[in-house]
Amino acid sequence: MERKIPIFWVRGLPVILDLHLAPLYGVKTKRLNEQVRRNTERFPGDFVFRLIKTEWGELVANCDQFSNILHSSVLPTAFTEQGALMASTVLRSAQAIQMSIYIVRAFVRMREAMSANEMILRRLAEIDKTLLVHDDGLRDLYQKLLPLLESGPEPNRRKIGFGNEE
């Protein structure tokens, strides 16, 4: 059975939090963060960053899975795709190797889904433009037919029949 890796969007980047990444690598969160601190040259700011309180509060508000660790004194660390892969190189568990492959696949699937959504949105935009062109054409046709549909004033006709003409 395949595990689901929770990937969140923080600072416009898809990330995995340390508390989700560590179990995937078969280590404790404390050990994962310790290895990141010991190998800072391998983890630049675009690979790993610590969440600020407002970001953490926003994640907690949107995801009830964090309610049990809401009041933790340590803010979580966020790993981008590259950071998550780099973590597998500094951790020495066999599970880390397997999970690095798994994480790559998860991010690839996410990119494919996003790409499919972008293609659908582009196609919808094209359809919308086509409909606007047709809408203009129909509006033009309606304006031209409208005078033909409106009844004009009754023509003066001679009345037929008996009547009291004065």
Helix (H) or strand (E) holding 39: none
Region of poorest pLDDT, from 35-39, 74-78, 116-120: 116-120
Whose tokens are 């508000």? That residue is 61
Task: Give the sign of the dihedral formed by CA 128, CA 118, CA 46, CA 68.
Answer: positive
Rounded distance, CA 97 to CA 157, Å?
98
SS3 162: coil
Check whether 41 has a pLDDT greater than 90.
yes
**N-terminal to C-terminal alpha carbon distance within the chain:** 101
> Per the structure block, which two tokens stand in for 130?
């086509």
Q: What is the mean pLDDT of residues 21-50?
A: 90
SS3 17: strand
Q: For the segment 85-138, what is each residue's pLDDT rounded down to a tens digit?
A: 888 888 877 888 787 777 778 778 888 888 888 888 888 888 888 888 888 888
